[in-house]
């Protein structure tokens, strides 16, 4: 009886994955919510508490101006998540539109879009991102537009391949023989089939977007120095590491890595929820 009870309440792999993803989203939500609940006065200049090591009063210590590093880090993580979200949505939308256009609008469109994909893939994301952000003057607008315009090629190539496969399916051929337009077929047959792949690609794109935003901001071409961005925090902390103030870079860098790994985990495990064949894996 105990064995049956345990077996009844045991979770299969799909259910465990769902709970893991749910807890990951809750963790990200807590980080974002925490940035709004924390007292902004703790990041004001307070020279009496400057250069304090980690303690119960200041979990991540304080910087050279007496600002609480825990508060700055949480606000910086929230800002990175929002910037990454906007940039990833823009980039995924470009990939979806171009990937579908390449596979449905004829050979000429396919050749042009494939050439654009190869062109962008031939140059590292970071180099193109720096050029775009520098041209637009940096800041929030420059970094978001740069992220949206540089991270779409790989996903666009995957979507194009998926669309080509779905387009040759029998039910699509039947709709075409019944006189359905290309737009109708794309919206009712092709788009629903490629949305799961687009969603997974979007989530896997997220960690790269966040890391590249932090890298460009670290180089001084991203967010404004007045913003509590992680890239700004890490850039400023480099001047004080030789003085033994290790906590200025260690905790923000570790938290950034944790956030990136959380998004990476969600993206890698979404396939388990989307794939119906693996629904009853143990």
First to last CA, the chain: 21
- Please give the domain boundaries of the chain with CATH numbers for all domains: 70-278 (1.10.3720.10)
* Residue that has been written with the tokens 């480099």 in this structure: 238
Is the separation of the CB atoms in 124 and 131 below 8 Å?
Answer: no
For the four alpha carbons of 106, 112, 117 and 118, in that order, the dihedral sign comes to: positive
Give the pLDDT confidence score for residue 264 in this predicted structure. 84
Please state, in angstroms and rounded to a whole number, the distance separating the CA atoms of residues 127 and 163. 30
CA distance 100 to 199: 15
Question: Which residues fall within 8 angstroms of residue 24, CB to CB, at 6 or more apart?
Answer: 262, 265, 266
- Distance between CA 67 and CA 50 in Å, rounded? 7
> What is residue 6's predicted lDDT score, i.e. its pLDDT?
44
- Both tokens of 133, joined, read 């952000």
Which residues lie across from 68 on neighbouring strands?
62
134 membership: H or E segment, kind and range: helix 125-135
Each residue's pLDDT expressed in tens, for the chain with a length of 282 residues: 444 544 455 666 777 778 888 898 898 899 889 888 888 888 888 888 888 888 888 889 888 888 889 999 999 899 888 888 898 899 999 998 888 888 777 788 888 888 998 888 888 888 888 888 888 887 888 889 989 999 898 888 888 888 888 877 788 778 778 877 777 777 777 888 888 888 888 888 888 888 888 888 888 887 877 778 888 888 888 888 888 888 888 999 999 999 988 888 888 787 777 765 555 554
């Amino acid at each position: 009886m105990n064995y049956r009870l345990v077996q009844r309440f045991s979770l299969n792999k799909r259910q465990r994955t769902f709970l893991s993803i749910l807890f990951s989203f809750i963790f990200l939500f807590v980080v974002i919510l925490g940035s709004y609940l924390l007292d902004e006065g703790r990041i004001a200049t307070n020279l009496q508490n400057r250069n304090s090591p980690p303690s119960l009063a200041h979990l991540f210590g304080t910087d050279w101006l007496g600002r609480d590093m825990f508060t700055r880090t949480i606000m910086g993580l929230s800002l990175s998540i929002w910037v990454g979200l906007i940039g990833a949505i823009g980039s995924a939308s470009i990939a979806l539109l171009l990937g579908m256009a390449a596979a449905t609008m004829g050979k000429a469109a396919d050749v042009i879009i494939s050439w654009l994909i190869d062109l962008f893939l031939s140059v590292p994301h970071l180099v193109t991102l720096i050029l775009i952000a520098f041209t637009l003057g940096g800041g929030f607008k420059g970094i978001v537009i740069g992220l949206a315009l540089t991270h779409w090629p790989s996903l666009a190539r995957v979507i194009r391949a998926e669309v080509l496969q779905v387009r040759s399916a029998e039910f699509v051929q039947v709709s075409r023989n019944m006189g359905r337009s290309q737009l109708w077929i794309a919206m009712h047959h092709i788009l629903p089939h490629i949305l799961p792949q687009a969603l997974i690609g979007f989530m896997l794109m997220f960690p790269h977007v966040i890391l590249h935003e932090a890298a460009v901001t670290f180089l001084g071409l991203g967010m404004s120095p007045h913003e509590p961005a992680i890239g700004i925090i890490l850039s400023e902390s480099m001047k004080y590491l030789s003085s033994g103030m290790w906590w200025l870079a260690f905790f923000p860098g570790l938290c950034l890595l944790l956030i990136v790994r959380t998004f990476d985990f969600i993206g890698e495990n979404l396939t388990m929820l989307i794939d119906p064949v693996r629904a009853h894996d143990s």
